[in-house]
């Protein structure tokens, strides 16, 4: 609670950074869980290191590219609609400046300013940079800080890859007898860390988030291991 108040008091900058950080942690979490499920499932079916490495690497690449593509599409769409809203705002400011000044005045009044002060503030903001004022107050957009879809895509790619590397290395590097144990323990430990960090960054209570996160990962590995073992035993 104190954290959200704190970040709001300092404007959008810190809040936006926390959101990015949280998205990175969640991306890494996805990489850990999906790749862990994959390699543990394959480890249930086969003892061959090459098969584990192939499956883990394919999972890492497929997952990170799919995350990056999804992020690219979603941020591009958001950016398009923000640009369209800004263009419309620009047109309205040109075509009916008086109505726009009145609109800004009313929005500022709604935020708690008296009529006269709101009018004065609207006049000054309009003189300085009308479009920016309308973008911020009316649309909630900072025209200088539209999210770049390539940055967002790259960040998702890196976050997922970092997460996916953990189960991949944990299953491939140790001797066969240690393989599963090392993977399960390191994955669950990492999920404690990502669950805790994402809860803290979202200003939520960490212990329940950690529990859910670890349970989700354990369930994913348990199910794929069971499936892999059945397939392996059936000689598929
Ligand atoms: Zn406007």
Q: Using the 8-state DSSP alphabet, how is residue 135 labeled?
A: I
The predicted model scores a pTM of 0.79
Query: What percent of the chain clears pLDDT 70, i.e. is strictly above it?
Result: 94
User: Separation of 143 CA from ligand 1 center, angstroms?
Assistant: 14
Q: How many angstroms is it from 86 CA to the middle of ligand 1? A: 9
CA of 214 to the centre of ligand 1 (A): 47
* Centre of ligand 1 from the C-alpha of residue 172, in Å: 58
CA distance linking residue 189 with residue 51, whole number of Å: 25
Quickly list H helices, the chain: 2-9, 12-45, 49-95, 97-110, 115-134, 149-172, 176-201, 206-233
First to last CA, the chain: 53
pLDDT tens digits, 114-130: 999 999 999 999 999 99
What pLDDT does residue 144 have?
83
Lowest mean pLDDT of 142-151, 204-213, 216-225, name the range.
142-151
Q: What value does the mean pLDDT take over residues 172-188?
A: 96
Residue 141 CA to ligand 1 centre (angstroms): 12
**Residues 141, 135: contact at Cβ < 8 Å?**
yes
Give the pLDDT mean for 2-22: 58
CA of 99 to the centre of ligand 1 (A): 8
Phi-psi region of 174 (alpha: psi -120 to 50; beta: other; left: phi over 0): beta
pLDDT of residue 1: 36
pLDDT (tens digit per residue) in 53-81? 999 999 999 999 999 999 999 999 999 99
- 88 CA to centre of ligand 1 in angstroms: 9
% of the chain surpassing 90 pLDDT: 82
Structure tokens at 185: 């323990």
Residue 4 is predicted with a pLDDT of 38
Please state the domain extents for the chain. Answer: 2-233
| Pair 64, 157: CB distance under 8 Å | yes
User: Are residues 195 and 212 in contact, defined by beta-carbon separation less than 8 angstroms?
Assistant: yes
Question: What is the pLDDT averaged over residues 21-26?
Answer: 90
Over 70: is that where the pLDDT of 5 sits? no
- Rounded to whole angstroms, the maximal C-alpha distance in the chain is 81
Res 234: pLDDT: 86
Q: Count Cβ atoms within 10 A of the Cβ of residue 207 and give its class: 0-12 exposed, 13-18 middle, 19 or more buried.
A: exposed
Write out pLDDT tens, residues 82-107. Answer: 999 999 999 999 999 999 999 999 99
Quick one: average pLDDT of 153-174? 96
The residue-averaged pLDDT of 142-167 equals: 92
Confidence of residue 12 (pLDDT cuts 50, 70, 90): low
Ligand 1 centre to CA of 9 (Å) is 25
Ramachandran angles phi, psi of 202, nearest 5°: -90, 10
Distance between Cα 75 and ligand 1 center (Å): 24
């Amino acid at each position: 609670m104190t954290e959200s108040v704190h970040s709001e008091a300092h404007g959008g900058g810190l809040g936006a950074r926390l959101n990015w950080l949280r998205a990175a942690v969640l991306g890494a979490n996805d990489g850990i869980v999906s790749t862990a499920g994959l390699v543990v499932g394959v480890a249930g079916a086969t003892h061959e290191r090459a098969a584990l490495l192939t499956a883990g690497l394919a999972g890492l690449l497929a997952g990170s590219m799919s995350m990056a593509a999804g992020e690219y599409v979603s941020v591009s769409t958001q950016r398009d609609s923000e640009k369209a809203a800004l263009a419309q705002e620009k047109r309205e400011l040109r075509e009916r400046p008086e109505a726009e000044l009145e609109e800004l005045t009313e929005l500022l009044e709604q935020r708690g300013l008296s009529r006269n002060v709101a009018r004065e503030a609207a006049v000054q903001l309009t003189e300085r940079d009308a479009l920016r004022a309308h973008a911020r107050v009316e649309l909630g957009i900072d025209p200088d800080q539209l999210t770049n879809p390539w940055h967002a895509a790259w960040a998702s790619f890196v976050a997922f890859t970092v997460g996916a590397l953990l189960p991949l290395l944990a299953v491939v590097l140790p001797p066969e007898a240690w393989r599963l144990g090392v993977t399960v323990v390191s994955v669950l430990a990492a999920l404690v860390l990502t669950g805790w960090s994402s809860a803290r960054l979202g200003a939520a209570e960490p212990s329940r988030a950690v529990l859910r996160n670890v349970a989700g990962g354990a369930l994913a590995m348990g199910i794929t291991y069971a499936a892999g073992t059945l397939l392996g035993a059936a000689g598929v």
